[in-house]
Structure 1
Amino acid sequence: MSELLSVADAEQLIRQAMPVFGSERVALDAAAGRVLRQIVRAEREQPPFDRVMMDGIAIAMSSSSRRRFMLSGLQLAGMVQQTLSDPDTCIEVTTGAMLPRGCDTVIPVEQTKRDGEYYLLADDYAPTIGQFVHPRGADCRTGDVLLEPGMCLGGPEVAVLAGNGVAEVEVAAIPSVTIIATGDELAGVDQPLLEGQIRGSNDRALAAALRACGFDDVQLARVADDLAATTATLAELLYTRQVLVLSGGVSVGQRDYVPEALRTLGVRQVLHRIAQRPGKPMWFGIGPQGQVVFALPGNPVSALVCAARYLLPALQSATGLAAEPPMPVCLESAVDTNPALTFFVPVHVHHDASGRAMATPLPPGTSGDFSSLPRTHGFVELPPGLAVVPAGTVATFYRW
């Protein structure tokens, strides 16, 4: 039996072995939430002209001291640039319009009074030259770097892409994932239950966790506890998919065929068995063409803990997707553990009167008992060394 790896060593080995999934070009409307893989430069100056910032009138204040201006034209947003030929006149303007030639100041409509063909400035209003004019190039200059690789594309970034004519954008590729549930005892969610069967839930739970993190290309598969069937199914999926996530069949039982099938198919074992509870039997490896294989234990709590602690962070890091960092919480009550193992304990998190994050441990009876998990927000990681972790201990919290 191989020696158990520490959680820290397992995490490092996975990080070092993870491949880069490359990039792809997608339409701008499909880019939200993706990670940029190109430099984006300014298409032209922004704004591309001196831009009017308020509805009102545009005047040549540097050439006239008048407070009463005859209306000589109209400049709407989207119109070609008009010209103020007489500095003693004004041009009506709207927000977003080009500042007419010959004008240098905008007077808001609220500070004027219309008198026939004339505009009069309010008696107590003192304008300044250049007010309410957004100068050409004030935001950026042609060729300026606006976005860089590695940025996650949210609303502001998509606005920059659209504003600079980027209709297609290069982003980090999202790998294809197949989740394979193993076990003769599993029945589908819509199938009748026979004696000795349970409904499979791990595959749906893992798929939901992946999709919530931005991994949309997720498929489900199922295989019986049979070496030939397991090998054949994995061989086909290794040929067509980039990431395989197995649930069950990974321990050392007489019908746990997953490690043997993966060895037969040339998948290099990076790790097997970690000094942790739950999730000790976890297996991870890399296929002949760089395929990623996570083989998780079959008990539901074990599978979800290993997914949140290893699978999701590894995929997020490899694709550049933003991950919610773990945070410190304070245990409200003591937890019994095994000094030789890292313990992952489901908790409910709330904040006390001082704003400190407090975690109420809600450990399930076994790693197969998952009905209480919806009352938890995630789990804390309790390092080895103590048989009882006392209340008040600050622990690292990972969200489901």
Structure 2
Amino acid sequence: MSELTSVSQAQALIAEHMPSFGSERVPLDEAVGRVLRQAVHAEHDHPPFDRVMMDGIAIRWSATMPRRLRVVGAQMAGMRRQTLPSGNDCLEITTGAMLPEGADSVIPIEQLRRDGEDYVLSDDCAPVAGQFIHRRAADCAQGSLLLSPGMRLGPAEMALLAANGVANVEVAVMPSIAIVSTGDELVDVGEALGEGQIRRSNDSAVRAALRLDGLERVVMEHIVDDEAVTSQRIAELLERHDVLLLSGGVSMGQRDYVPAALAAQGVRKVFHRIAQKPGKPMWFGIGPRGQAVFALPGNPVSALVCATRYARPALRAAQGVPAPAPEWVCLDSDVDVNPSLASFVPARVQSDAQGRLMAYPVPSKTSGDFSSLPRTQGFVQLPPGQGKAAAGSVAAFYRW
């Protein structure tokens, strides 16, 4: 029997062998949700001029300025810069307009009363120089780094790209991924169940997890338990896809044909079997064209744990996404641990009155029991040990 790979070794081996998917340029409106692969710098100062922040009037402030000011024109948003003639004059202004030449303060319309061609300051109006002016380059100066490679492009990032004239964006290539379920007992969600059959669910769970990471080039396939068919279908899938995520057929049973089929198609095994529970049978290898192949166990909890702990982080890293900082939680209660295997225990998390993130374990009865997973947000990873991990222990937490 082959030696088990530790969790940390498995993580390191995947990182060492995982291919990069490269980058491509896409129009801005196609970049949302993608992973940025370029540095983006400020095209100009932000804001690019002294910007008015309130509707009202622009004035030249002084300690002896009059309470009545004559309107001599207007400075609207989008207009070329106007000039304020004298200290007894004012220009009507709108939010977003350039501050007029010669003006150094803005009085909001709420503190003014119109009287013919004049504005009269209200009794409680006490303007100061510089008020309600968003100074040029106050947000950032031209050339400042705004976005770094590895960021996922959401609403805020898209706004910055547009504001800085990035019409075409360099993003990570989205890999083509096949999620493959194996087993004669599996039927599609819309089919009636025959005797001894169950509906496929692992592929739906894994596809949902990948979509949370913005991965949309995903297809789902099913392979029956036949050695020749398994080898042929894997060969076809390797030709069409960058990543294979298989579920089932990877253990040591007499109908577990996946490892042999992968070897027959030139997929080089990096490791098989990890010292963990659930998910010990997991297999990882690299195809002849650099395809990444994750062969997950068939039991639902095992498959989702392995996809979350290994496949998803590896796919994010292959697109250039930096590894996130670990999330740490405190156990709310004692948890049984395995003496020789790392334990992955589903848990719900919630902050307590001291601000600590507490984990409330919801152990599965078996690695096939996924009915309780919707009550959890992820799982804690506990090292091997004798007896129990005590309440109050700190553990790494991985979200679904």
Question: TM-score w.r.t. structure 2 length?
Answer: 0.91
CA distance in structure 2 between the aligned counterparts of 1:44 and 1:190, rounded to whole angstroms: 55
Q: CA deviation at 1:87?
A: 4.4
Query: How far has the Cα of 1:125 moved from its partner?
Result: 3.6
Q: Per-residue displacement from partner, 1:134-181 (whole Å, max 9, x unpaired)?
A: 333333343333323233333332222121122221122232211000
Partner of 1:289: 289
Q: Report what 2:192 is aligned to.
A: 192
Match of 2:71 in 1: 71
- Whether the 8 Å CA contact 2:37–2:320 is kept in 1: the answer is no
Question: Does residue 167 of structure 2 align to residue 167 of structure 1?
Answer: yes
| Cα distance per residue 1:313-367 (max 9 Å; x no partner) | 22122224475843222141341x4312122222333444544444343333321
Q: Is the 8 A contact 2:331 2:361 kept in 1?
A: no
- Structure 1 gaps, min length 5: none
Alpha-carbon distance in structure 2 between the residues aligned to 1:107 and 1:80: 21
Distance 1:375 1:87 in 2: 67
Residue 205 of structure 1, CA deviation: 1.2
Partner of 2:238: 238
Q: Give distance in 2, aligned partners of 1:357 and 1:128.
A: 47
**Which stretch shows the higher mean deviation, 134-143 or 3-12?**
134-143
- Structure-2 change in CA distance of 1:161 and 1:348 (3 Å): closer
Q: CA RMSD in A?
A: 2.4
1:348 corresponds to which residue?
348
Moved more, 138-147 or 106-115: 138-147
1:173-322 to structure 2, matched below 5 A, reads 173-321=173-321
Residue matched to 2:107: 107
Aligned to 1:4: 4
Structure 1 residue matching 2:235: 3-state secondary structure? helix
Distance 1:97 1:365 in 2: 65
The CA distance in 2 between the partners of 1:377 and 1:239, in whole Å, is: 36
Distance 1:369 1:61, change over 3 A: closer
Alpha-carbon offset, residue 93 of structure 1: 0.8
Paired residues in the alignment total 399
2:64 and 2:377 map into 1 onto residues whose CA distance is 67
Quickly say closer, same or farther: Cα 1:107–1:366, change in 2 above 3 A.
Answer: closer
1:287-330 residue CA offsets vs partner (Å, 9 max, x unmatched)? 12211100001111111111111111221222244758432221
TM-score normalised by length of structure 1: 0.91
Secondary structure in 2 aligned to 1:46?
A: coil
1:328 aligns with 2:329: yes
Residues in 2 aligned to 1:191 and 1:396: alpha-carbon distance in whole angstroms:
40
CA deviations over 1:87-112 (Å, ceiling 9, x no partner): 43221111111222333332222333
Query: Measured at CA, do residues 135 and 392 of structure 1 come closer, stay the same or move farther in structure 2, by a change above 3 Å?
Result: closer
Compared CA separation, residues 199 and 159, structure 1 to 2 (3 A): same
Q: Which residue of 2 aligns with 1:367?
A: 367
In structure 1, what is the Cα distance between the partners aligned to 2:361 and 2:377? 11
Call closer, same or farther: CA 1:103–1:394 in 2, change over 3 Å. closer
Shift in Å at residue 202 of structure 1?
0.9
CA separation of 1:53 and 1:266: change in aligned 2, threshold 3 A: same
Structure 2 contact 65–87 (Cα < 8 Å) conserved = no
* Structure 2 contact 329–359 (Cα < 8 Å) conserved: no
User: C-alpha displacement at 1:52, in angstroms?
Assistant: 1.6
Question: Do the aligned partners of residues 35 and 123 (structure 1) sit closer, same or farther apart at CA in structure 2, a change above 3 Å counting?
Answer: same
Distance 1:201-1:166 versus aligned 2 partners, 3 A rule: same
Gaps of at least 5 residues in structure 2 are none
- Structure 2 distance, partners of 1:16, 1:26, is 29
| Structure 1 residue aligned with 2:35 | 35
> 3-state SS of the aligned residue for 2:71?
strand
